[in-house]
Amino acid sequence: MSTKLATNRYGKSRVRVIRLTKHAGHHDLDEWTVQLLLTGDFETTHTLGDNSKILPTDTMKNTIYVVAHETQATSIEGYAQDLIDYILTRNPQVSSAECILQSHLWKRMTIDGQPYPTAFMHGSNEVQTTRISRKQNAAFEITSGLDGLFVLKTAQSGFTGFIKDSLTTLPETTDRLFGTVVKAEWTYTPAAIASSIDFNKVRTHLREAMLSTFAQHNSLSVQQTLYAMGESALAHTDLIDSVYMLMPNKHNLLIDLARFDRTNPNHIFVPTDEPHGTIEATITRA
């Protein structure tokens, strides 16, 4: 039997880093989970057990730490670009590198009504994300976003006019709780990547634009609101050319209090995690 090696890559995953930056009078705290993946001339390690072109994954882990120490980047995108540049300039056998990074959010503790300069607490389960790749002698490709952003609105949400067959038990409603965990990823244009943009500022503004739309949109379905949020992101800036959105419908079920001789005018609900609806789409410029 004749075989050959097809696609392959390797790397290091779940590398956790805390970076403490000390300023006069206050500290900044970053926590990252980093994955680094390499593609290149690695055939002989698979076919012959020849490891002469393999950068050990333990070395990759150490590189993640050292670049975190040395980088002057103030954004996760900037750090990931520095990490990839470090790998590619020192490893010609690597044809491309990809860094996938999550930034876990900390916020300053408030003591006596003021942000404390050196004490922090987790804000939420929301994470900032980026996926950056580059081939040797080529430009970066950057997709950034957010995940784990749990939001809920208590008005301006309904669901009517859907298909009803013999197995449909869901009632129509024009007044429901709309809860979801937002995942959004936006792809930067080549021109934006080539310029010195402020990734943190773009992220903040896109997040604000999408949340504003979520809160104010008169939602006839999760799909409609998802699309409107993607539209608002694209309308906000020309630095991105597409937005991927994933918004599971986290159901909050109205409790039937009739058996207790009580009415429940959308007052008492039970939140559920599963099963949940899964709604996703990519919105691009026409």
The pLDDT tens digits for 100-142 are 999 999 999 999 999 999 999 997 899 999 999 999 999 999 9
Side-chain-side CA neighbours of 89 within 13 Å: the count stands at: 7
56-113 per-position pLDDT tens digit: 999 999 999 999 999 999 999 999 999 999 999 999 999 999 999 999 999 999 999 9
Do residues 145 and 182 touch, judged by C-beta distance below 8 A? no
* Over residues 38-55, mean pLDDT: 97
Q: What confidence score (pLDDT) does residue 24 get?
A: 95
* Fold observed for domain 10-138: Urate Oxidase (3.10.270)
Query: What predicted TM-score, i.e. pTM, was given to this entire model?
Result: 0.93
Domains 10-138 and 149-284 share a fold: yes
Task: Show the tokens assigned to 278.
Answer: 């899964």
- pLDDT confidence bin for 265, thresholds 50/70/90: very high
Cα–Cα distance measured from residue 103 to residue 99, given in angstroms and rounded to the nearest whole number: 13
Task: Show the tokens assigned to 13.
Answer: 């995953």
Cα–Cα distance measured from residue 38 to residue 8, given in angstroms and rounded to the nearest whole number: 9
Q: Catalytic residues, which ones?
A: 12, 57, 251
Question: Helices marked H in 217-286 — which ranges?
Answer: 222-236
| Domain regions of the chain by residue span | 10-138, 149-284
Task: Show the tokens assigned to 205.
Answer: 């503004």
Burial class of residue 90 (count of CB atoms within 10 Å of its CB; 0-12, 13-18, 19+)? exposed
Q: How far is CA 104 from the centre of its chain?
A: 11
* Fold observed for domain 149-284: Urate Oxidase (3.10.270)
169-215 per-position pLDDT tens digit: 999 999 999 999 999 999 999 999 999 899 999 999 999 999 999 99
